[in-house]
Amino acid sequence: MITKNLVCCAVLVSCLSLTQIVRAQEENHPATRHLLKNMAAAQLTDDQTAQINEQAKATAEKIGEVREASGLTFKMIKKRTAALKKFRKTGLKGQELTDAVKEEIGLTQEQFDAAVEVEAHRRSLKEFAIELLTDQQKNALPKMSNGTNASKGQKKMAENTTAASAQTGGLIFEDDFERSESQEVKDEIGNGWKSNSESRAKGNKQVDLRDGAMHITMHAEADHAVSVTHPAEFTNGKVTLRFMLKNEGDSLGLNFADLKFKEVHAGHLCMTKIGTKNVQIDDLKTGRMANASRAARKAGTETEEMKKALKAKTKRFPNELTTGSWHDLEVRIEGQTMIVAIDSQEVGSFTSEGIAHPTKRTLRVAVPKSAVVDDVKIYSLAN
């Protein structure tokens, strides 16, 4: 995320007159000035500017209280940002990264946590400002400019590499999300990922690259769970990643799909859903996403026999997860069987004919509330 260096916003400055900039510097709260400059392309109204200014005053008071209570200085915040950047390059993450930064610049845990809180307050101010914008103003802000859109040649090369890996077995794709975004209005995941935020969340941002991880949160205006997708072609394969569920009701789904297969809704083949209390594995191809089954449910003509058959297409396993902590996940598909392991311990496996669909073409990361994902790797296993 672009706030790694604690800059409020990295949207390019344009379309704001010198008179407006000078007035902003003279009249607005200091916490507002940089933000207003960076949102210049949106052509803010006087009322929007006034609301942002009032919110900035409240934000500054909160930040002041946090700093005073912890003894945190702005110099410490700047040093923390530099240390984070330095140690991320060495591959450190999580608590190891935190400990290294604390030792490097002499921060207490309270001060480190305070710096995180300061970042959160600044981010909230920016999000508040963005929420005030009309759709036209949001669209006026510059789109991604960090080169994450691959050229046609690059995409073709990636497709060829994926196809070759699928035939021989091996790593198809990996992502550690160690990159920044050029703006904070829309999803800008990069590296071949796509999301449904444009079609199901009115274009609102639901996927945020922050602290070297992918933070996924369903927006209040969304009418569907967040779906973050990446090409992944294999017959037998596995996905490994690190994830965190912050709240009891959160969950993370890995859904394998083939949009070329038209006998199921939206290409759904099979999936696993990881919650804080259990893990579920579903055969969607011959289960609830099969066109005939789905049509019967929607028409209200589903028979008891059909309901009984559907129950045989899913299996649930009890599994307690610690919220707010990182966990390792491995999902393996071999033939008709899907096996799920968390923190190197097998949680459950399920065998059903739909899982053996010959070509899984797409990985969908499904999040109905909130989840954090990192270090994704997709492998093809030799058939």
pLDDT tens profile 352-371:
999 999 999 999 999 999 99
Burial class (CB in 10 A: 0-12, 13-18, 19+), 355: buried
Q: Which amino acid is at 276?
A: T
Both 119 and 189 in a single domain?
A: no
Backbone angles phi, psi at 185, to 5 degrees: -100, -45
Q: Which amino acid is at 28?
A: N
99 token code pair: 């400990």
Residue 109 lies in domain: 2-140
Both 9 and 129 in a single domain?
A: yes
Residue 309 lies in a domain: yes
**Last residue of one domain, picked from the residues 92, 108, 140:** 140
CATH of the domain at 337: 2.60.120.560
Both 166 and 262 in a single domain?
A: yes
Question: Is residue 156 over pLDDT 50?
Answer: no
For 308-326, write each residue's pLDDT tens digit: 999 999 999 999 999 999 9
Both 245 and 373 in a single domain?
A: yes
Residue 307 lies in a domain: yes
> Any idea what the Cα angle at residue 270 is, between residues 269 and 275, rounded to 5°?
145
Q: How far apart, in whole angstroms, are the C-alpha atoms of residue 204 and residue 227? A: 13
Residue 146 lies in a domain: no
Residue 209 lies in a domain: yes
Both 97 and 160 in a single domain?
A: no
Mean pLDDT check: name the lowest of 9-13, 111-115, 122-126.
9-13
Both 85 and 179 in a single domain?
A: no
Mean of the pLDDT values across residues 135-157? 51
Q: Is 117 helix (H, G, I), strand (E, B) or coil?
A: helix
Q: What confidence score (pLDDT) does residue 34 get?
A: 63
Counting the structural domains of the chain, the total is 2
Residue 147 lies in a domain: no
Both 230 and 284 in a single domain?
A: yes
Residue 13 lies in a domain: yes
Both 194 and 303 in a single domain?
A: yes
Residue 145 lies in a domain: no
Mean of the pLDDT values across residues 149-160? 41
Mean of the pLDDT values across residues 69-75? 89
The structure tokens 């990996």 sit at: 174
For residue 205, how many other CB atoms are within 10 A of its CB? Answer: 20
Both 276 and 188 in a single domain?
A: yes
Q: How far apart, in whole angstroms, are the C-alpha atoms of residue 115 and residue 3? A: 12
